[in-house]
């Protein structure tokens, strides 16, 4: 794979990674900083990265940078940023219900422990397979499935309390 193709692959992942970092809880500015740091590291090591593993490598670098940032900060703050854009053809009532649902889900995600939040976002927001999640986190597929089950249980427990 040529350097141009790797750079294109790198560019296509940056917006996705930025969105993922914000969903994990990073603020917009922190997410931008982490993405820039990830791009810098990727450009340094681009030739040494296997073409099939670029995406996982980028996520791993970004996630590790995010956790480093969290450790440096005294407390973890969940970002309240929500994508409020909706298609123009939807009814206002429908849009309001969807927005309320998004806010509730964001609140529940914010109350999950970071590991469970990460698993749920990787599986359902980013639509990664069990195999991709396992490779990204350096764990077995069985561990991913069991951990995701527990994460869903925690989500449902918190969601049930929030919906009342």
What's the CATH code, domain 93-163? 1.10.10.10
Using the 8-state DSSP alphabet, how is residue 51 labeled? G
Mean pLDDT of 19-38: 89
- Rounded to two decimals, what is the model's pTM? 0.60
What pLDDT does residue 80 have?
46
What pLDDT does residue 89 have?
61
Residue range 3-72 in CATH 1.10.3470: no
Burial class (CB in 10 A: 0-12, 13-18, 19+), 109: buried
Residue-wise pLDDT for 56-97, tens only, equals 888 888 988 888 887 776 444 444 444 445 455 657 777 777
Q: 76 versus 111: which is more confidently predicted?
A: 111
Q: 142 versus 8: which is more confidently predicted?
A: 142
Nearest to 14, CA basis, from 51, 54, 52, 49: 54
User: Mean of the per-residue pLDDT values for the chain?
Assistant: 81
Please give the helix or strand (H or E) that residue 114 lies within, else none: helix 114-120
pLDDT value at 154 more than 90: yes
Q: Per-domain residue ranges for the chain?
A: 3-72, 93-163
Whether the Cβ atoms of residue 144 and residue 133 lie closer than 8 Å to each other: yes
């Amino acid at each position: 794979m040529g350097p141009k193709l790797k750079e294109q692959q790198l560019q296509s992942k940056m917006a996705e990674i930025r969105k993922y970092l914000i969903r994990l809880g990073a603020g917009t500015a922190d997410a931008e900083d982490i993405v820039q740091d990830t791009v810098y590291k990727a450009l340094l090591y681009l030739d040494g990265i296997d073409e099939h593993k670029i995406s996982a490598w980028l996520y791993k670098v970004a996630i590790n940078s995010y956790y480093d940032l969290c450790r440096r900060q005294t407390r973890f703050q969940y970002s309240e940023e929500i994508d409020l854009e909706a298609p123009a053809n939807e009814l206002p009532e429908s849009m309001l219900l969807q927005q309320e649902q998004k806010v509730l889900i964001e609140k529940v995600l914010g109350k999950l422990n970071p590991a469970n939040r990460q698993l749920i976002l990787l599986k359902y927001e980013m639509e990664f397979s069990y195999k991709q999640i396992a490779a990204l986190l350096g764990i077995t597929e069985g561990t991913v499935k069991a951990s995701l089950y527990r994460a869903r249980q925690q989500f449902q427990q918190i969601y049930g309390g929030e919906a009342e």
